[in-house]
């Protein structure tokens, strides 16, 4: 691809930055050394107290494509991304977190899909997961080959929604889609990308899954939202209400697919939060009995939620709390032992059948 003549659209790489001096240079190097050159790199410094701003200024001096915006007060990642979008001039926006990094051909690979499939709304790629702390090991579904490398109409193939991560790192989005539908990040302390992604999928019509792992996603980073592991439960409730408001504008398949994806994430998070006393039994009961749509339990993909709910009904608050704490800390500190127990349980269930 000949990018030197800028025949292809400008891409705005948007990067919120807050106290990431240890990772920032590698992130910036990966952005400025892209094979696709027609980019601007908008770095929104969110009142960093370490050397992050100093690093940004050093890089901006040697590469004019880097633009630095300094927030006067702490805004957090979501609002910082909004500020980046507002100040962007590209036809497409690409989100890059300042503790991650991308492969040299990342933007080029994504932009090729926009040329092959005109007006595609979203192009997403797969991650290389780099775990810095085994305590916080996560597993996300990789995208099946049947969905990759082609244009997908989300309303016709809504099953693919389960493979779209809530993390927005690595998404190439047609900016007009965001502007026309007022899709912005909310000022949550955590999970702002989950709310944004749901809003994006409500309005997006077409999507391409890239089969390539070109985004290096670091997790277990000290002081990151992910390592705290206790998400803002209110975000899930807000997403649920947002989906209800759009029920009449969505196909039944998309509506159910979005809710199933939400409920799976919600149930996992509320159980974890309950285990460490971040929410009360009353709040947990409300979510299980008033938020979850039990009619969706008929879907095989909702087995996890159904099993958790049935376990919840078996015990009184004291025993449920005890079991939740034991499971949580076994999973956190003895993951190998926990995996063995799960395998034994599955074998016993098969024998019973």
Which DSSP string corresponds to 147-212? GBSSEEETTT-GGGGGGS-S--TTEEEEHHHHHHTT------SS-HHHHHHHHHHHH--EEEEEEE
Cα(288)–Cα(282) distance, rounded to whole angstroms? 10
3-state secondary structure of 45: strand
Q: Which neighbouring-strand residues pair with 172?
A: 94, 123
Give the pLDDT score at 4.
40
Cα(297)–Cα(312) distance, rounded to whole angstroms? 15
Token pair for 73: 């007060």
Scan for tokens 């025949």, then name that residue: 7
- In 3D space, the residue among 49, 7, 56 whose CA is nearest the CA of residue 28 turns out to be 56
Give the pLDDT score at 130.
82
Cα(298)–Cα(303) distance, rounded to whole angstroms? 8
φ, ψ at 91 (rounded to 5°): -75, -25
Give the pLDDT score at 140.
63
Non-local CB neighbours of 183 within 8 Å, separated by 6+ positions: 177, 196, 199, 200, 203
Give the pLDDT score at 230.
53
Cα(56)–Cα(32) distance, rounded to whole angstroms? 12
Give the pLDDT score at 167.
87
Q: How many CB atoms lie within 10 A of CB 68?
A: 15
Residue ranges in 33-105 assigned as alpha helix (H): 52-62, 76-86
Integer-rounded Cα Rg, in Å, for the chain is 21
- Per the CB < 8 A criterion, the answer to whether 44 and 12 are in contact is no
- Among positive and negative, which fits the CA dihedral 178, 183, 184, 190? negative
Give the pLDDT score at 176.
97
Token pair for 62: 């040697």
Provide the residue ranges of all domains of the chain, joining segments of one domain with +.
Answer: 11-227, 233-335
Per the CATH hierarchy, to which homologous superfamily does domain 11-227 belong? Spore Coat Polysaccharide Biosynthesis Protein SpsA; Chain A (3.90.550.10)
Give the pLDDT score at 208.
97
- In 3D space, the residue among 247, 26, 3 whose CA is nearest the CA of residue 105 turns out to be 3
> What is the residue-level pLDDT of the chain in tens, covering all 353 positions?
444 444 679 999 999 999 999 999 999 999 999 999 999 999 999 999 999 999 999 999 999 999 999 999 999 999 999 999 999 999 999 999 999 999 999 999 999 999 999 889 999 999 988 877 655 556 666 789 999 999 999 989 999 999 998 889 989 999 999 999 999 999 888 888 999 999 999 999 999 999 999 999 887 655 555 444 455 789 999 999 999 999 999 999 999 999 999 999 999 999 999 999 999 999 999 999 999 999 999 999 999 999 999 999 999 999 999 999 998 888 888 877 777 777 777 776 666 65
Give the pLDDT score at 334.
82
Give the pLDDT score at 179.
97
Q: Could you list the beta-strand ranges (E) of the chain.
A: 11-17, 39-45, 66-70, 92-95, 101-102, 122-131, 151-153, 171-174, 206-219
């Amino acid at each position: 691809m000949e990018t030197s003549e800028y025949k292809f659209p400008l891409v705005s790489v948007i990067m919120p930055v807050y106290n990431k001096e240890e990772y920032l240079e590698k992130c910036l190097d990966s952005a400025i050394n892209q094979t696709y050159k027609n980019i601007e790199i908008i770095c929104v410094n969110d009142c960093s107290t370490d050397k992050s701003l100093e690093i940004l200024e050093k890089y901006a001096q040697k590469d004019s494509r880097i633009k630095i915006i300094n927030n006067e007060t702490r805004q957090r990642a979501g609002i910082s991304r909004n500020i980046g979008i507002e100040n962007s001039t590209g036809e497409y926006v690409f989100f890059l977190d300042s503790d991650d990094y991308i492969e040299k051909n990342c933007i080029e690979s994504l932009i090729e899909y926009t040329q092959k499939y005109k007006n595609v709304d979203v192009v997403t790629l797969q991650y290389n997961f780099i775990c810095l702390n085994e305590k916080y090991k996560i597993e996300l579904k990789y995208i099946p080959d049947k969905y990759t490398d082609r244009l997908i109409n989300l309303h016709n193939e809504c099953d693919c929604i389960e493979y779209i991560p809530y993390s927005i790192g690595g998404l190439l989005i047609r900016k007009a889609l965001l502007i026309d539908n007022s899709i912005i990040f909310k000022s949550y302390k955590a999970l702002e990308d989950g709310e944004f992604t749901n809003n994006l999928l409500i309005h997006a019509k077409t999507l391409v899954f890239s089969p390539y792992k070109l985004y290096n996603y670091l997790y277990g980073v000290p002081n990151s939202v992910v390592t705290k592991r206790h998400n803002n439960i209110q975000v899930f409730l807000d997403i649920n209400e947002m989906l209800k408001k759009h029920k009449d504008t969505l196909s039944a398949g998309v509506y159910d697919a979005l809710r199933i994806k939400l409920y799976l994430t919600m149930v996992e998070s509320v159980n974890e939060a309950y285990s460490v006393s971040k929410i009360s039994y009353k709040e947990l009961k409300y979510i299980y009995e008033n938020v979850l749509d039990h009619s969706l339990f008929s879907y095989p993909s909702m087995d996890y939620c159904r099993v958790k709910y049935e376990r919840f009904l078996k015990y009184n608050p004291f025993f449920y709390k005890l079991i939740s704490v034991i499971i949580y800390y076994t999973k956190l500190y003895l993951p190998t032992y926990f995996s063995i127990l799960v395998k034994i349980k599955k074998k016993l269930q098969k024998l019973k059948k």
